[in-house]
Amino acid sequence: MWFALSHETELLHILEVHRRDLSETELRLIGWTLNQMLTDRSKTFDGMSESERYARELGGWIDEQLDAGDPKLLLPDRFVSRGRLFSSMIPFLLVSEQPEPGGSHFGELEKLLRTFLAEEVLIIPLKEQEWLILGPASLIHDAQSGERDEEEDESLEESLSSIASGLHEMLSSEWMGGECHLAVSHPISPANSIVGTTALLRETVHLGRAFHLGSNIHLPWMLHLERLLNTIPEAHRIKFVEQALKRTDAFLDPEILTTLETFFALDCNVSETAKKLYIHRNTLLYRLDKLKQETELDVRQFRDAVLVKIILLLYKVTKRA
């Protein structure tokens, strides 16, 4: 009798036991254990469609790789035999705030996504309340139709952001999963990079929820600074914020916070910020001048703007620590 102990890439470690060395009680115990494993496995996928069974097995494999110290990056043959995972697809990560009761969300979610995205969409359940969604790359062409002609990289990311926004709006109004977060990345060939992309999207949702409370759509190319700040030990972040706020609490004024966040979101454009805030341009300049007087930081200067941006980002995460 052979018992699998562990495996390393293509090397399998086994324990060989001769039947004559086992007692009748031990043999019955082994048989009972094997029967229970087979029964539990059949119960796990009982009543599921073939597509859901495949998706859940694939999701389980992805989770195993992400939890492993040395993950496999290429999909096993049993998952890519259908061929569709070699096509270019858009990866989304959907995270629900509410638990999934008895797995009932899968069928409902699949129906909604196939209506909104395309019939060939693939939904892969990962951990509880988390789904990896693979949509056809043709969605980008559809989103770009009618848009102004811009540089390819910019229009690609704008199109992905537009698709994610529309998808989140649909889920918010029609899905029973409740409040949710959505991340999207550039198109991939799932057979070659599904594990790494899932890790990136998970990190993106984590950073978005930590640094941008209230935002539900998270884009990895917009979180480079947040990713860097997240690597700083928590004690150092707290100390930095305490030192920055020791001089003044001007940053904590709700009006100033809203003004600065809008100012940075609009690339430090004074006219556009004033328009967005529905205030006169001179009113905005007055606020910025007042902030400069109280903090000695002028956000119209690049160096000071970067410093204030870092202070605000770190304040958001340290105040909840």
pLDDT at 81: 60
**Angle at Cα 227 formed by Cα 163 and Cα 270, nearest 5°?**
70
Q: What is the DSSP string of 228-291?
A: HHHTS-HHHHHHHHHHHHHH--GGG-HHHHHHHHHHHHTTT-HHHHHHHHT--HHHHHHHHHHH
Question: Which residues does 232 contact at the CB level (< 8 Å), separation at least 6?
Answer: 240
Pairing relationship of beta strands 130-136 and 122-125 according to DSSP bridges = antiparallel
pLDDT at 273: 94
Pairing relationship of beta strands 217-218 and 2-8 according to DSSP bridges = unpaired
To which residue do tokens 């977060």 refer? 181
CA distance 166 to 217: 10
pLDDT in tens, the chain (321 residues): 787 877 665 678 888 888 777 887 877 787 777 766 655 554 455 567 787 888 899 999 999 999 887 777 788 888 876 557 888 999 999 998 876 554 457 788 888 888 888 777 899 999 888 999 999 988 888 776 655 555 444 578 999 999 999 999 998 888 876 789 999 999 999 988 999 999 999 999 999 999 998 899 999 999 999 999 999 998 998 888 888 777 667 777 889 989 999 999 999 999 999 999 999 999 999 999 999 998 888 999 999 999 999 998 998 887 755
Judge whether 223 and 200 are in contact, CB under 8 Å: no
Paired residues of 132 in beta bridges = 93, 124
pLDDT at 49: 76
Q: Which two tokens stand for residue 237?
A: 């972040």
pLDDT at 3: 78
pLDDT at 102: 47
CA distance 186 to 202: 14
